A and B are shown apart, each in its own frame.
Chain A
Amino acid sequence: MSAPVPAVPSAAAAAAPVPAAPVLSVQDLKAYYRTRYFGVTRDVRAVDGVSFEVRAGEIYGLAGESSSGKTTLIKAIAGAIRPPLEVVGGTMTFSFLPGSPGLHRASPAEVAGIRWRHLSYIMQGSMNVLNPVRRVKHSFDDFAFRHMGLARSAFWAEVEAHLARVDLDPSVLAAYPHELSGGMRQRVTIALATLCRPEFVIADEPTTALDVLVQKTVLGMIRSVQREIGSSLLFVTHDMGVHAALTDRLAIMYAGRLAEEGRTAEIFARPRHPYTRHLVGSLPRIGDASERKSLDGTPPNLADPPPGCRFHPRCPLAMDVCRREQPAMIADGPDHRVACFAVHPQSEGHP
């Protein structure tokens, strides 16, 4: 596999300062899709008890496949909750909105004050953000001007300086979105999202639709801008390669719950959860022609998930207790948590 990782000395762990209040703290979040349609009631448990924290200035990755619930988690954090989606329990507290259980409970005025200034997004389709019938500069004007509190000329100077950070010429402002390439549009989206120097940026599969070469450039820019303005980045993608190259810490999500979370290097070097082990080990690499296997079974139906640990039907290590009870996330080494009975044998009931 990969080159042996030098053992992480405890000095490094001690040197990393214990951070102040995290930028985002999610506690036991539950968000379901509740539909009552023509007499049929179903609860799709897309997010079913998720807890994690995002620290200041870090890139926190969230990995998961389709039907893992990660899209719903993002929607909940961003406050984009509309029926049939409902937040059924738990809280999502931002450092810039203390005491609030989440954006879904904030008043429209609060939300308007927060979006783009403290919390912004980089979406998968840049066309979701940029209005196709207006020139690019209008998007900057509509979204960001109000938050910056600058005079017009100062504002545009700042915009141009910021565009230069993502290697874009100011002439981009005068163009319509369709006149730019996919990569350029995505860079505009990055500039828009980071212009006001928000504390927290959510990136939802921002490079999935881009070509491999462009993806590399865009990811590099995301990282350099993030490092420069010091915001936290919640980066969601199913692509493990991107996580390996970009993120500081990584959480693996499966069927609405977290399976494992830890520093990225550690997750790839010593994955504990069987699902993580599979994700890390199953994809082929150039130069290595050895046999790769896929997992048996299919991702579970979130409307009718399996009892106990959601992964047990596909898990090579499944035991009796896995069929009955859900494992809790337990610390396993510094800055590392796993939810698996095979790793932590003591039977933990779901709190």
Chain B
Amino acid sequence: MLAILRDLLRYNAEFRIGLLLVGIVVVLAALSFASPYPPLDVYVVPPDLPPSWAYPFGTTSRGQDVFWQLTVAIRNTLAFGIAVALLSRVLSLAIGLFSGYKGGWIDRVLMSINDTFIVLPLFPILVLFYFVMRDRMTWAMLALIMACLGWAYDARLIRSVAMSLKTREFTQTSIFSGMTTREILMREHLPYVMPIVFSTTMNNMNWSIGLEVTLSVLGFTDINTPTIGGMIFWANQHTAMVAGVWWWFAFPVAVVVMAFVGLFLLAVSMNEYIDPRSRLRRMGGAAG
């Protein structure tokens, strides 16, 4: 495993850059635990101070240190993104593999449900949920809802891979070796599906973080928990643009963009490594 990472670092520029960017973001998130100010407190430092040695990212109009706020915000945002991505992966995999393998009416029913979810307009529904649930809308709740909305597209991708795997001869060999459906799906087909899962996880994280930022900017989430979107929301509330307090949203935006790009690069570079075909080539299938 270590040799693999070492090789990726040495030969793949995308991986290096991606790892660097994500590394910075993760370090920032980890630093949040060392924050000298409780994240929810306001007016703990002089407000509206531009970046300086004392306050490297400046302070907000609410009297918070932008740097330390940012660490907490990015931690929460990342955690949210990971939670949604993982939950929805589980759904995508389960439904996609099962539907692709079984075929027939099971496949038709599941895909009809799938397509319904694809065409649902996400944003209005999330807003609707917010208005219905108001104060009871916790982050966990939001993560769950978004996971339930975010599996559909990738399930279809996984299903198409599952369908092609079904026709390959080793699937028959597995059946005649006495393996159950669950075993075949998990042990034989899953490795082929992993590259899709991996890259869609990154995509999904980007999507969920993006959606969270959007919702928070508009105030449709629990604004009291600091997140990237939340910071931008408060910045807008205090008309930071007009007031010239640019550091309040510049830094959150910069950090979240770094997270996006880093995740994307990681996904792309690791994908090439995990893809079974390039893995086979590397293991040394004979040439001509």
Q: Size range of the interface on B? A: 10 to 19
In the complex the two chains form, is A72's CB within 8 Å of B281's CB? Answer: no
Given the contacts A38-B11, A39-B10, A302 and B286 also touching, CB distance less than 8 Å: yes
Is there a chain B Cβ closer than 8 Å to A49's Cβ?
no
List, in ascending order, chain B residues with CB within 8 A of A302's CB: 286-287
Which of A33, A38, A46, A301 lies at the interface centre, i.e. has the most chain B CB atoms within 10 A of its CB?
A38
Answer whether residue A198 sits at the interface, using C-beta atoms and an 8 A cutoff.
no
Q: Chain B: which residue is nearest A301 at the CB level?
A: B286
Q: How far is the CB of A309 from chain B (nearest CB, A)?
A: 20
Restricting to B247-288, which residues have a CB under 8 Å from any CB of A? 273, 281-282, 284, 286-288
Task: Among B10, B11, B288, point to the contact of A71 (Cβ < 8 A).
Answer: B288
Rounded to whole angstroms, the CA-CA distance of A40 and B288 in the bound complex is 19
User: Which B residues touch A301, using CB under 8 A?
Assistant: 286
The answer to the question of B240 belonging to the interface, with a C-beta cut-off of 8 Å to chain A, is: no
How many angstroms from the CA of A303 to the CA of B4 in the assembled complex? Answer: 22
By the criterion CB–CB under 8 Å, are B284 and A38 in contact? no
Tell me which of A37, A42, A72 contacts B288 (CB under 8 A): A72
- Is B24 positioned at the interface, with any CB of A under 8 Å from its CB? no
Interface check B8, CB cutoff 8 A: yes
- Complex-state Cα separation, A301 to B285, whole angstroms: 10
Bound-state CA distance A46–B286 (Å) is 10
Q: Given A38-B282, A40-B282, are A46 and B287 also a contact pair (CB < 8 Å)?
A: yes
CB of A41, distance to nearest CB on chain B (Å)? 12
Interface assignment of B7: CB less than 8 Å from any CB of chain A? yes
Task: Give the docked Cα–Cα distance between A108 and B96 (Å).
Answer: 47
Q: Give the residues in chain A near B281, CB-CB below 8 Å.
A: 37
A67 at the interface (CB under 8 A from B): yes
Flag if A44 contacts B287 (CB, 8 Å).
yes
Interfacial chain A residues near B10, Cβ < 8 Å: 39
Interface residues in A40-90 (C-beta closer than 8 Å to B): 40, 42, 44, 46, 67, 69, 71-72, 75, 84
7 more A-B residue pairs beyond the given contacts A44-B287, A46-B288, A303-B284, with a C-beta to C-beta distance below 8 A: A37-B281, A38-B7, A39-B3, A39-B11, A46-B287, A71-B288, A75-B288
**Is A39 touching B287 in the complex (CB atoms < 8 A)?**
no
Partner of B7, one of A39, A42, A44, A303: A39
Which residue in A38, A42, A72, A303 is a CB contact (below 8 Å) of B8? Answer: A38
Residues of A within 8 A of B7 (CB): 38-39
Give min CB distance, B55 to chain A, whole Å. Answer: 45
Taken together as a complex, chains A and B put the C-alpha atoms of A42 and B285 apart, in Å, by: 12
CB distance from A176 to the nearest CB of B (A): 25
Q: Could you tell me the distance between the alpha carbons of A69 and B6 in the complex, rounded to whole angstroms?
A: 34
A37 nearest CB neighbor, chain B only:
B282
| Whole-angstrom CA separation of A44 from B286 in the bound complex | 8
Nearest A residue to B278, CB-CB? A37
Q: Is the pair A72, B282 in contact by a Cβ cutoff of 8 Å?
A: no
B1-27 vs A, CB cutoff 8 Å, 1 = contact: the mask equals: 001101110110000000000000000
26 residue pairs from A and B, CB less than 8 Å apart: A37-B281, A37-B282, A38-B7, A38-B8, A38-B273, A38-B282, A39-B7, A40-B282, A42-B284, A44-B286, A44-B287, A46-B287, A46-B288, A67-B286, A67-B288, A69-B288, A71-B288, A72-B287, A72-B288, A75-B288, A84-B287, A301-B286, A302-B286, A302-B287, A303-B284, A303-B286
Chain B residue contacts of A38, Cβ below 8 A = 4, 7-8, 11, 273, 282
Question: Considering the chains assembled together, what is the distance between the CA atoms of A75 and B287 in angstroms?
Answer: 13
CB-defined contacts of A67 to chain B, threshold 8 Å: 286, 288
Interface centre among A37, A71, A303 (most CB of B within 10 A): A37
| CA of A71 to CA of B286, assembled, Å | 13
Q: Which residues of A contact B11 (CB under 8 A)?
A: 38-39
Among the interface residues A39, A69, A301, A302, which one has the most CB atoms of the partner chain B within 10 A? A39
Question: Please, which residue of chain B has its CB at the minimum distance from the CB of A68?
Answer: B288
| Chain A: CB-nearest residue to B6 | A39
> How far, in angstroms, from A302 to B282 measured CA to CA in the complex?
15
Give the chain A neighbours of B4 by CB distance below 8 A.
38
